[in-house]
Amino acid sequence: MDVTLEQIGKWEEGSFLYLDTRGEAAYGHGHIDGAACYRKGEEPPPSFSGKKIVAYCTYGEESRKIAEGLQKQGYEAYNLKGGFREWLRQKGTGFSRQELERYDRQMILPQLGTSGQKRLKQSKALIVGAGGLGAPAALYLAGAGIGEIGIVDADAVSLSNLQRQVIHDTDGVGMNKALSAKRRLERLNDQIKVRAYQEFFSPENAEEIVRTYDFVIDASDNFETKFLLNDVCVLQRKAFCHAGILGFQGQAFTYVPGRGPCYRCIFEEIPRGGDVPNCSQVGVIGALAGIVGSVQALEAVKYLAGIGELLTGKLYVLDGLTMQSRIVGIPKKNEACRVCGRAADIRSVSENAAEYRRQPCAL
């Protein structure tokens, strides 16, 4: 009943065909070369007549039942031992054997598959801020196999950061945060490229930094940078995920060009004169930063892989004290928005530099 890839390799070419039993979604995101998609209850295609049928699923367990059923119908059917996972390990193209093993648990997801993993490998993500939000976001993007990750942060690691900025450690106190994060990510995944920008994200460098990336994560700690990041991404038509945390409260939403409002559409102007308290005044719980930063990483993975439903046109809100979360619909594009509205007056962040004067807090 069970047959190995080694045994199949000895069969005469053209004498057998593969039958993918994992379902249409999984099949669409990657399958064995030449395999047909099996729909439960259907007969194998006419082209299978007179040939050996090798049924497979993810691990080679469920497909055994289908192979047995085909045998009872008179077909010469077998079950691929180890399933699609084993075929990926031995025959998968576009990945090294180490990559196939490293990303095994996500590549077997029907929604992702090999096609989604290849898109992640070819993608570039930028993280602005290597603090409480940027730390978990960077770790999970590196773990997922994003091909290139850029990290922007001019600050140095301090002991008070370690309560929530889990990408850093005690040995890194005093080191630039972007460099500290790069060091950690390269230890986590040596198959990706990490670039550290040891500078503040500013009107003078924002356009150049953002230009080469496919998705941006706003893990910044002040409104000036958040508005700057929004404006440069909107002008360059780059998708990004915003997030903010304070105390036990967190929020996140994703902007995709042409698919919903931007950050400035919602909040319009930068708060001034201490109108809004910051985390150095109120405080922040570290685990909340981990949750919300992970939401940002998940949004990036979904966007870059082309799967799932994004937080576009809606705000994810979490109360860490009660663990109540909700999705809040946010207004459609604001036609009066200064960067994406009909009468937009912001056409270049460098020309609008005075508006983004920084007032940072140590998030």
CB under 8 Å to 132, separation ≥6 — which residues?
164, 165, 219, 245, 284, 286, 289, 293, 363
High-pLDDT (> 70) share of the chain, %: 96
30-44, 206-220, 319-333, 339-353: lowest mean pLDDT where?
A: 30-44
pLDDT bracket for residue 360 (50, 70, 90): very low
The average pLDDT across 276-289 equals: 74
- For the chain, where are the alpha helices, taking DSSP H only? 5-8, 24-28, 62-72, 83-91, 97-102, 104-107, 113-121, 134-144, 177-188, 206-210, 223-235, 263-267, 279-282, 286-305
CB 131 within 8 A of CB 286: no
Chain centroid to Cα 174, Å, comes to 30
Check pLDDT > 80 for residue 284.
yes
Residue in 240, 287, 276 with CA at minimum distance from that of residue 260: 240
Output 288 or 343, whichever has higher pLDDT. Answer: 288
pLDDT bracket for residue 43 (50, 70, 90): confident
Domains and CATH numbers, the chain: 2-107 (3.40.250.10), 122-356 (3.40.50.720)
The Cα 297–Cα 120 span in angstroms is 12
pLDDT bracket for residue 271 (50, 70, 90): confident
The average pLDDT across 25-35 equals: 90
pLDDT bracket for residue 362 (50, 70, 90): very low
pLDDT in tens, 98-148: 998 899 999 989 899 999 999 999 999 999 999 999 999 999 999 999 999
- Helix, coil or strand: residue 186: helix
Check pLDDT > 70 for residue 282.
no
State how beta strands 52-56 and 16-20 pair. Answer: parallel
Check pLDDT > 70 for residue 273.
no
pLDDT in tens, 295-305: 999 999 999 99
Q: How far is CA 348 from CA 228, 235, 266, 268, 338, in A?
A: 10, 8, 20, 17, 11
Instruction: Give me 215's structure tokens.
Output: 């998705």
Residue in 231, 220, 216, 240 with CA at minimum distance from that of residue 126: 216
The answer to pTM > 0.75 is yes
DSSP summary character for residue 176: B
The Cα 259–Cα 279 span in angstroms is 31
pLDDT bracket for residue 279 (50, 70, 90): low
The average pLDDT across 89-94 equals: 82
pLDDT bracket for residue 42 (50, 70, 90): confident
The average pLDDT across 44-61 equals: 89
20-29, 114-123, 203-212: lowest mean pLDDT where?
A: 20-29
How confident is the model at residue 317, as a pLDDT?
98
CB under 8 Å to 145, separation ≥6 — which residues?
99, 102, 103, 117, 120, 121, 189, 191, 192
64-68, 128-132, 176-180, 292-296: lowest mean pLDDT where?
A: 64-68
Average pLDDT score, the chain: 92
How confident is the model at residue 131, as a pLDDT?
96
Residue in 65, 356, 59 with CA at minimum distance from that of residue 202: 356
CB 109 within 8 A of CB 83: no
